[in-house]
Amino acid sequence: MSPIEPASPGGATARQSTFLCPSDSYTLITDNLQAEFDTHFAITRATSPQQRDEGFRMRHGVYCEELRFEPIRPDGREYDEYDDGAEHLLIRSVRTGTFVGCARVVMPHDLQHALPVERSGAWKAARPLRDPQGRAVVAELSRLAVVHEFRRRKGEQDTPINLADEDFGTPARPRFPHIPVGLYLGALAIAQRRIIATLVVLTEERLARHFGRLGVRLAQVGDTVEFHRMRAPYLMSVRETVDMLPPVIRTLYDKIYADIWSQSP
């Protein structure tokens, strides 16, 4: 079985939890959700040049070599002007020791487009972007990527990250999409720690819908545009989203928060 789809250690006797979101529900194994994540994956902030370089090389493999969303670069790294000052996340496979997922949280820049989403024309953040103390009030979650080995199913090869009904399995064969959910929860943890009020993400409608069913509340705030597939801008109220996470997801969030902030701030 793939590490992204671990069976419950408790087998058929494991306790399950169903939580309801608008018009939908998921049934998840809850006994050891955070333990299952720790068994298969580790999440960390990329705070050193070497760790950030791992993310840039992963992004080049996914965005440039596989999907051709960005041009191939001679140095084999995908990065842009928004990476300076951003918070970067990495997810590592415990089994192989290799990094398998990445994302970044971009703080507002003093550029024509303060956030990457503004380049798409789909949404423009209201100014001011920082509070009187200079702290960002809005930030963007972007450049999410999962390596090819964890995107093998039909329809996954042409998108950098995926989430679908089958990722959650069935009561008899439970599964959980650790990597995409871990990256989103990691971004929330960064935003909460940095006292950022709002996160924006430019994503596909189906991904927003699935995250909404997990309790990650996303509000569409602009039109759908063609930007490496059809995408729309969505906002998350950080405090409200964290407070409203279902207990099973909140337990995982709290563990991820503790893990990424166990490092130096």
Per-residue pLDDT of the chain (265 residues; tens, 9 = 90+): 333 333 322 332 333 433 333 334 455 544 577 888 999 999 999 999 999 999 999 999 999 999 999 999 999 999 999 999 999 999 999 999 999 999 999 999 999 999 999 999 999 999 999 999 999 999 999 999 999 888 765 444 556 665 555 555 555 555 678 899 999 999 999 999 999 999 999 999 988 988 887 888 899 999 999 988 899 999 999 999 999 998 889 999 999 999 999 976 6
Would the pTM of this model clear 0.75, i.e. be above it? yes
d(CA 95, CA 80): 31
> Is 6 inside any structural domain?
no
> Is 12 inside any structural domain?
no
Judge residue 215's burial from the number of C-beta atoms within 10 Å of its C-beta, 0-12 exposed, 13-18 middle, 19 or more buried: buried
pLDDT of 223 reads 92
d(CA 43, CA 138): 23
> Is 4 inside any structural domain?
no
Question: In the chain, how many domains are there?
Answer: 1
CATH code for the domain of 184: 3.40.630.30
> Is 218 inside any structural domain?
yes
Whether the CB-CB separation of 260 and 214 falls below 8 Å is answered with no
d(CA 245, CA 216): 7
> Is 35 inside any structural domain?
yes
Residue 69: how many CB atoms within 10 A of its CB? 16
> Is 126 inside any structural domain?
yes
> Is 132 inside any structural domain?
yes
Question: Of 130, 91, 134, which Cα lies nearest the Cα of 114?
Answer: 130
Q: Which domain holds residue 219?
A: 24-260
d(CA 194, CA 205): 27
Q: Are strands 230-237 and 225-226 parallel, antiparallel or unpaired?
A: antiparallel
Residue 156: how many CB atoms within 10 A of its CB? 16
> Is 14 inside any structural domain?
no
